[in-house]
Structure 1
Amino acid sequence: MLFSLTSDSRRLLVGFLHVALASVVFSHVGYAQKNDLQKDAIELTEIAIKSEETQNEILQIKKELEDREDINKIQDSYVNFVKSLDQSKESFLDDKNRYNTLSRLEEPERFWMMSKNTIDAWLTAVQNKIHRFDASLKRLEYLDKIWQNTLSAARSNKAPTAILQRIRLILQDVKKTKSEVKSVLNGILTLQSKMAETDLLIKEMLNSIEKLKKEAGASLFTLNNPPIWEAFDEREISGFFTETVYRGVLKRYQILIKYITDYYYRFFYQLFIFFVLSFLFVSSKRRCRTHSPEEEVVPGKDILRWPFILAFLFSLGMTPVIHPHAPYFMVDLSLFLMLFPLLHILPRLLSSFYQKILYFFILSFSLSEISSLVIPGSLFQRLISMGLTIAAVIFLYGILRYQKISKQVSGKKLAVVLHWAGRLAIVLLAIALAANIIGAFALAQFLVHGVLFSGFMATVISVGVLAVNQLWNVFLHLDFVQSYRSISQNSEIIRVRFNKIMYWLAMYWWLVQTLKVFQLYEGFKGGFLSVVGYRLTVGSFAVSLGDVLIFSVTIFLSVLISRFIRFVLEEDVLRKVKLPRGVGGSISMLTHYAILIIGFTIAVSAAGIEWSRFALIAGALGVGIGFGLQDVVNNFVSGLILIFERPVKLGDVIELADLRGNVKRIGIRSSTIRTFEGAEVIVPNSHLISEKLVNWTLSDRLRRISIPVGVAYGTNPKTVIGILEKIAEKNEDVLEKPAPSAVFMGFGESSLDFELRFWTRNFDDWVTIRTNISIQINEALAKKGIEIPFPQRDIHIISNAPDDPPDIRAERDKKNKDKKK
């Protein structure tokens, strides 16, 4: 039928079908869009609450926009920072020939490293700010979309005008805040782009300096100057004090001003440390004053005569710590300023031997620093270096030749170290002198500066350690410190161990500084890290020396910490807390082993050992326990029983088989019993649990004493009982309850037997109490005329025994006849 229609009718019908199909499709699309809008839109009933939440979010974002003080400071500082970098770059490139030695390259390298640290910190702060603002912008875009859908849905649902107006206000606020965030974010992104360019510039300068360092290192063994006899030039000497010194001082002044501007707050830290140390030293000085000549003089007290000078000295000594990014010459300046307090204090603290060494290195190092302002390789600088070298060789040779180092220093090992260090220094200085003469001045300057700097640092560090040790000794003798029993009873041990720790720390610090000045530190550090980082792989198991070191050091530190905490608990803390007897020891022991277990866990994790691999170890331990470790595990479990059940406590008097004494220690595996004869017996804990044990002091420290007494037959028993009970009642060491009693025990072979029984609280002195009362009993019975008999026997001899031999009977008869005559 369709095909029977005319062409016009067919076209009309097809067009009608197209219109109908499009209507259906668009109606579905509109319905879907409407559903999507309703899905992302906010319900009319929740618009009031959601609008308030949105306004709070917008307020929070606006606060973040206003809180841009850190970014503003970075922007303000960045302009001057870039100018300073440009000036430093221009100055470095113009005077590039001046930086031809390793020591001279340290200063610009430190400056550009400091600049690198500054730009890295700024980039990190800017990046964090960008992340926060980017998150805020995404949140605002999401809110904009939600509220747009809400407005469309509200219109379609014919919401009240007030609601529509509120939605429009929210949308306006969201769009306005979004625009502000975009503007601020674009500004910060621009700043970040500029700072990235500056960071690239700094990296290029550091690479350039690194290249110059390699060239300077390679030039150490080249003749980069003419021999000394060909280098004399009067014009060079006359022009030395004009241009070269001025340029050197001006350059360092600019770098110092820049550092002060960027890190001014660190100087306030240093000033605060000075005031705190001044207060502590003045207070210690007042507390250490003796009130009479008879009082003991505190060792090391003399150093507190100058509290403010000491505070100034120590605050200056902390310059490398407080200012880790400071230029090298600033650290050298702080060391130079330390000379004045040292020169004032040291003559009263050091012997003449140490004073000579100190003064020499102070003078020589100061001259070396002054010579660094001169054009490198100039005749004036070479003459100064030559004079310092000769003076140092003569001085060190005199010390080694005419001074007995072993008699001047305490400690044989230290004397050996100083002796060989002096010899090595002389060899290096001799090489430097020869190199200077023939024209290898870079090598000469490198060796002379290294030897003088190392000697100066050794002297300053030694004096610092001496001062710290004396101050520590003063601290240990302060009244409030001596109030702690753990310190007052072990002052000498604490002092000696602290001195050893300071000695090794000083040796480490001096060694690091010496390796750095000779450009060997990075090599040693890299070699050490490569050795400890090498991993030995056997199958699926891999281990390195570093893992072993980390594990060992962690275990060692945990043992030290556990011992220290246990020592403090037992000596001070637990003594001041009222606890049942034995509880303090259990707390101390549990704390000790808890710290060890925690330390072991940390050591295993730090060493990179997987805990899953302990399953194999646990299996092996299970087999070992089943065969050979039964006694160990038994003693361990018994130790836990002793700790928690406490059938035996520290200080108890026990009897175990033929062993009798005091419990001195209860360990996790064994315990220590000190017999009354003074022997210390190690007893496995399992014996204390499984065997029959008599504990005389389990519940209290009371003890009953029994004294047996025998009197002659014929004595009135009531009189004896009265005398005995009266003596016991008058004694102060005898308890009234239970009351003492005398008991008539029975009729002995030679005496009437009595026993005096009484209780005493002084368990440890029961032998002395028994002795004293026994003496009083003897005196009282003697006074009453009561005899204490001794055993007697009546012997009856029967004559003419039929069993006697004939010769004995004949002799006995003869004696009887003689007696009758």
Structure 2
Amino acid sequence: MFKISSHTYKTIVFLALLIFPILTNGQILDTEIPNVISDSIKTKTPKVIPLTHIIEGIEVTNKEIKNIDKKINKDRKITEIDSMFPFYEEFLKIQKEEVDKFLKADPNREKIDNLIIKWEGYGEYLEIWQSEINEFEERNSRLYETIEPAETTWNLTYDNALEENAPPEILNNIVAIRDSVVKLKDIILKNNNDFLSMEARINVELNEIDEVIEELTSLKDSEVYNLFYQRLAPIWTTSFSNIWKRSGTKNIDAVRKSTLGTFDFVKNLKRLLPLFLFLVALITLLILYLKKAFTTYPFTEENADLQHAQSTLKEHYLATIFFLTFLLARFYFVPAPKLFLDILTLCSLFSAIALVRPLMYKRFKKLIYFAIFFYVFDSIKTYVWFNAQQYRLYTFMEAVLAMAVIFSFTHPYRETLKMKMETFGKFLFRLTPLIYVLCGISIIANILGYINLTDLTLKISTRSGVFIILFYSLLIISNSIFLSIIHRHFSVQPSFDPELKLQTEKKVLKFNRVTVIIIWGLVFLNMIDQLAPIQTYFTDTSSDPYKFGNLSFTLNEVLSFLVVLFISFALTRIVSFLINDGQGILRVFKFPKGIPAAISLVIRYLIIGFGIILALSSLGIDLSKFNLMAGALGLGIGFGLQTVISNFVSGLILVFERPILQGDTVEVDNLLGTVNRIGVRSSSITTFEGAEVIVPNNNLISNDLINWTLSNNTKRVEILVGTSYSSDPNEVLKILYEAASNYEDTLKNPPPQALFVDFGDNSLNFTLRFWVHYELWLQAKSDVSIEVYNQFKEADIEIPFPQRDIHVKNIPEIVSNYKTPPPHDPPESETNLDDTEIPKVVIPIEHRDPGHDVEVDEDESEETNDEEPNYDQEPNNDNQ
């Protein structure tokens, strides 16, 4: 009798599956004992268990005890930490003794940084243990709160059983289950006490680690390591007789410790390795997916930066994957030993060769290998211990080699400068004199004994090239990623504005360039040990409070407020760009038209809402104080902003109900156009004349709205045509049908229709109906009409035009054409020609004014005679 659709059937089954467990649980829990147990254990309200349900209650409590006992016995991590911690304490004690020896050996800043990183790794390892212990403590506390009410429940039940004279067996069972609960509570308390004791011991070691790091940091910031502190005597007062002493055993020991420390670190990466491999897999899939955008859709932009960006993913996608993998490892495994980080940097440099070298001039292609060589040459000072004379000679050789390499690639300087280079290449080339200056300063400082200044100038000279290579590679890769996203976004659309696409690409690349330059600046400041002082200065400055009346704020809070708002609105722009209607990243889910736009709107409003809340919270504003303001605002909205709220609600209805969608052709209030944007307050409709009309959303909801492309974008085109009575209707119908069927844009379903309508006054009337896509209907009607006209002309089928008889009265010039004169002359004072008979004039329709195809009567009269003349004669036909 009733037919149920498949969608309705699936809905009913889903609701049944959803409700059935609820009903089942309700039936199971609709007994006294489980309710008592759940109330006493979960809601912490102990209740007496009746004698009739004591056995069931004992079974439930036994299950709870076994479940908790299993959770407690799974503390393998805690057992491992407990067994390893004494050895780690002894290890840290030995390392502290090594630090004391290290401080007496007069190390350079790189060795101090290396040791700080190592001790930060020790602290990180202990913090991991501490966090795991905290997790077990919190879990045990929850378990204790779960089992604690059960003891009271069974005490009350035992007293009740005594009052009701329960059998001894029941009393013994109650005592046994109560003792089990008490024993479990004692075990949980004991475990927590052990955890607290272990956590306290770890905290002691963490404090000592912090003290060591502070000691090393204060040493690095001391006057001894000031740039202009003379750590060594001038070279002319120094003897080089012991230049080859103290270089063997100590160097071997230092390298061995660095190598073993790196291997130990790698062995302990088992916990972090699975997530890292998962991230690497995601990077690989992302790069391959983005590469497909350039291979699937042709890239036609001629801009050099855009061409370089797209060729990176198409031709060097493997190098891109390796570079991003090593870069991720560089920041994922933190803190890591210095040797491990340097190895990752070298791997990144080797991956960058394939990315940067094709963009370099042939003359400078080998310069990238020298940059890697100098990075290794400068890093050796971090791991090898030199005496003063060896260190001076080593840094002198480094400076001389750097100057020689730069000279070999840039000589002659002026002629090389005249080469045609890009802006960035010319900028780098103009910096070469600065390298000479820095190397010269390092040599002079070395001679005078200012080793700290020598180290800094050499670091800038030799490592700046490496950082330029790394960040230039990062710029190329990020440009390629963003360009691929933009290219795919526009290419999947049926039609787009190429100029808009090009402008979007240029803006994104410019923003990306600025971002990479800022990051490079921060890394450069960190390399020369100036980032921390700058951060400290700005932190101290921005944390100073300012007061305006009762309002107190800091610059840090204001900056946080602005940054949060900027990030929120930037994210909304990105979401709006990526999730558009049917063409964004959600197109793989094949949602109905309009669903992606609704998802995008919800996400954007959530981002803005949370962004505003976080921004206000960053200012230290208590949002609870806005309750009164919210009430006043609601009252104001109710009275003063009715139209705005009405349009806002109408906008939400348009987004979620989807009566119109972006790109639809609509007609409302005699306005016909395409929906360009559906906003919260108003929507934009672009007419076919090119005007963009802003229509309030309330008008679209409350008024009659015609949507030509809601369910589909097809339109029926109707062409009316008439033929002469001498034509064959069958032949006419055949020509009409073939003209519509052979047109390339005509839809096959529904098929065209050629119909005979009626017998007209001057023609046989026909109609031709066919379906096309809405955006093509006007051109289709024109093309098919022309084809019909051409076919009629070939078949000698005449399209007649109607004829009309026009009767014109009171034309004085016709009086002279009558054969019979009037019987008497009319008086001069009266002349009346109203009754003059007018000749019939046949005017073809193509020669007449369409506004004057009816009889024309002139009622005006000229009173020239007292009597009206009477003309009975017929007019002369020659004057018609």
Normalised by the size of structure 2, how large is the TM-score?
0.68
Per-residue CA deviations over 1:359-386 (Å, capped at 9, x if unaligned) read 2321212111113334467122222222
Alignment length, in residue pairs? 731
Judged with a 3 Å threshold, the aligned counterparts in structure 2 of structure 1 residues 474 and 550 are, in CA distance, closer, same or farther, namely: closer
Per-residue CA deviations over 1:742-768 (Å, capped at 9, x if unaligned) read 5524xxxxxx57765443324331122
Give, in whole Å, the separation in 2 of the partners of 1:445 and 1:298: 37
Give, in whole Å, the separation in 2 of the partners of 1:349 and 1:785: 70
Give, in whole Å, the separation in 1 of the partners of 2:732 and 2:643: 52
Per-residue CA deviations over 1:496-552 (Å, capped at 9, x if unaligned) read 677657645543442232121122222333455566666765456666232122112
Equivalence for 1:238: 244
Per-residue CA deviations over 1:418-473 (Å, capped at 9, x if unaligned) read 46765655554444333222111122213322443333122133235446766898
Letter in 1 for 2:207: L
Equivalence for 2:341: 331
Structure 1, unaligned runs of 5 or more:
1-38, 291-296, 712-716, 746-751, 804-821
Give, in whole Å, the separation in 2 of the partners of 1:399 and 1:663: 60
Q: State whether residues 568 and 608 of structure 2, in contact with CA within 8 Å, keep that contact through their aligned partners in structure 1.
A: yes
Equivalence for 1:360: 370
Judged with a 3 Å threshold, the aligned counterparts in structure 2 of structure 1 residues 536 and 545 are, in CA distance, closer, same or farther, namely: farther
Equivalence for 1:556: 570
Alignment of 1:79 with 2:92, yes or no, is: no
Q: How much does 1:189 deviate? A: 4.0
1:421-500 equivalences under 5 Å are: 427-466=437-476, 485=492
Equivalence for 2:840: none
Identical-pair percentage: 18
Judged with a 3 Å threshold, the aligned counterparts in structure 2 of structure 1 residues 471 and 189 are, in CA distance, closer, same or farther, namely: closer
1:388-427 equivalences under 5 Å are: 388-393=398-403, 395=405, 399=410, 401-402=413-414, 410=422, 412=423, 414=424, 418=428, 427=437
Per-residue CA deviations over 1:600-627 (Å, capped at 9, x if unaligned) read 2122101116486598699799989999
Equivalence for 1:248: 254
Alignment of 1:679 with 2:690, yes or no, is: yes
Q: Give the counterpart of 1:769 among 765, 784, 791.
A: 784
Give, in whole Å, the separation in 2 of the partners of 1:516 and 1:693: 62
Alignment of 1:117 with 2:124, yes or no, is: yes
Alignment of 1:566 with 2:580, yes or no, is: yes
Q: How much does 1:793 deviate? A: 12
Give, in whole Å, the separation in 1 of the partners of 2:693 and 2:150: 77
Judged with a 3 Å threshold, the aligned counterparts in structure 2 of structure 1 residues 487 and 473 are, in CA distance, closer, same or farther, namely: farther
Q: How much does 1:69 deviate? A: 0.6
Equivalence for 1:741: 757
Give, in whole Å, the separation in 2 of the partners of 1:327 and 1:298: 36
Q: State whether residues 98 and 376 of structure 1, in contact with CA within 8 Å, keep that contact through their aligned partners in structure 2.
A: no
Q: State whether residues 651 and 663 of structure 1, in contact with CA within 8 Å, keep that contact through their aligned partners in structure 2.
A: yes
Letter in 1 for 2:254: G
Alignment of 1:320 with 2:330, yes or no, is: yes
Look up the SS of the partner of 1:761 in the other structure: strand
Give, in whole Å, the separation in 2 of the partners of 1:183 and 1:642: 62
- Superposition RMSD in Å: 5.3
Judged with a 3 Å threshold, the aligned counterparts in structure 2 of structure 1 residues 655 and 318 are, in CA distance, closer, same or farther, namely: closer
Judged with a 3 Å threshold, the aligned counterparts in structure 2 of structure 1 residues 390 and 616 are, in CA distance, closer, same or farther, namely: farther
Look up the SS of the partner of 2:221 in the other structure: helix
Give, in whole Å, the separation in 2 of the partners of 1:133 and 1:793: 111
Normalised by the size of structure 1, how large is the TM-score?
0.72
Letter in 1 for 2:326: L
Alignment of 1:198 with 2:213, yes or no, is: no
Give, in whole Å, the separation in 2 of the partners of 1:42 and 1:783: 103
Equivalence for 1:4: none
Give, in whole Å, the separation in 1 of the partners of 2:458 and 2:559: 37
Q: Give the counterpart of 1:523 among 510, 515, 533.
A: 533
Q: State whether residues 141 and 178 of structure 1, in contact with CA within 8 Å, keep that contact through their aligned partners in structure 2.
A: yes
Give, in whole Å, the separation in 2 of the partners of 1:572 and 1:279: 15
Judged with a 3 Å threshold, the aligned counterparts in structure 2 of structure 1 residues 81 and 485 are, in CA distance, closer, same or farther, namely: same
Equivalence for 1:226: 233
Alignment of 1:160 with 2:167, yes or no, is: yes
Look up the SS of the partner of 1:372 in the other structure: helix
Give, in whole Å, the separation in 2 of the partners of 1:648 and 1:249: 68
Give, in whole Å, the separation in 2 of the partners of 1:134 and 1:578: 46
Structure 2, unaligned runs of 5 or more:
1-45, 297-306, 827-880
Alignment of 1:512 with 2:528, yes or no, is: no
Letter in 2 for 1:511: G
Look up the SS of the partner of 2:693 in the other structure: strand
Q: State whether residues 432 and 443 of structure 1, in contact with CA within 8 Å, keep that contact through their aligned partners in structure 2.
A: yes
Per-residue CA deviations over 1:303-330 (Å, capped at 9, x if unaligned) read 8889877765543333222311102232
Judged with a 3 Å threshold, the aligned counterparts in structure 2 of structure 1 residues 500 and 272 are, in CA distance, closer, same or farther, namely: same
Give, in whole Å, the separation in 1 of the partners of 2:486 and 2:654: 38
Letter in 1 for 2:573: V
Q: State whether residues 722 and 800 of structure 2, in contact with CA within 8 Å, keep that contact through their aligned partners in structure 1.
A: no
1:86-101 equivalences under 5 Å are: 86-98=93-105, 100-101=107-108
Q: State whether residues 563 and 592 of structure 1, in contact with CA within 8 Å, keep that contact through their aligned partners in structure 2.
A: no
More helix by share: 1
Q: How much does 1:332 deviate? A: 0.9
Give, in whole Å, the separation in 2 of the partners of 1:578 and 1:158: 69
Letter in 2 for 1:513: V
Give, in whole Å, the separation in 2 of the partners of 1:65 and 1:502: 52
Judged with a 3 Å threshold, the aligned counterparts in structure 2 of structure 1 residues 407 and 593 are, in CA distance, closer, same or farther, namely: farther
Per-residue CA deviations over 1:49-86 (Å, capped at 9, x if unaligned) read 44334433432342233111110121233233223212
Give, in whole Å, the separation in 2 of the partners of 1:351 and 1:460: 18
Q: State whether residues 224 and 440 of structure 1, in contact with CA within 8 Å, keep that contact through their aligned partners in structure 2.
A: yes
Look up the SS of the partner of 1:672 in the other structure: strand
Equivalence for 1:34: none
1:561-640 equivalences under 5 Å are: 561-566=575-580, 569-570=582-583, 584=593, 587=595, 589-608=597-616, 610=623, 613=626
Range with bigger deviation, 321-330 or 208-217: 208-217
Equivalence for 1:705: 719
Give, in whole Å, the separation in 2 of the partners of 1:688 and 1:164: 77
Give, in whole Å, the separation in 1 of the partners of 2:667 and 2:152: 85
Per-residue CA deviations over 1:230-286 (Å, capped at 9, x if unaligned) read 234221x21253133223213313432442344344456666777887899999999
Q: State whether residues 101 and 216 of structure 1, in contact with CA within 8 Å, keep that contact through their aligned partners in structure 2.
A: no
Give, in whole Å, the separation in 1 of the partners of 2:390 and 2:171: 88
Give, in whole Å, the separation in 2 of the partners of 1:310 and 1:645: 42
Give, in whole Å, the separation in 2 of the partners of 1:337 and 1:574: 38
Per-residue CA deviations over 1:392-442 (Å, capped at 9, x if unaligned) read 3565576494576796764x3x45764676565555444433322211112
Q: How much does 1:160 deviate? A: 2.3
Q: State whether residues 100 and 212 of structure 1, in contact with CA within 8 Å, keep that contact through their aligned partners in structure 2.
A: no
Look up the SS of the partner of 2:684 in the other structure: strand
Q: State whether residues 655 and 693 of structure 1, in contact with CA within 8 Å, keep that contact through their aligned partners in structure 2.
A: yes
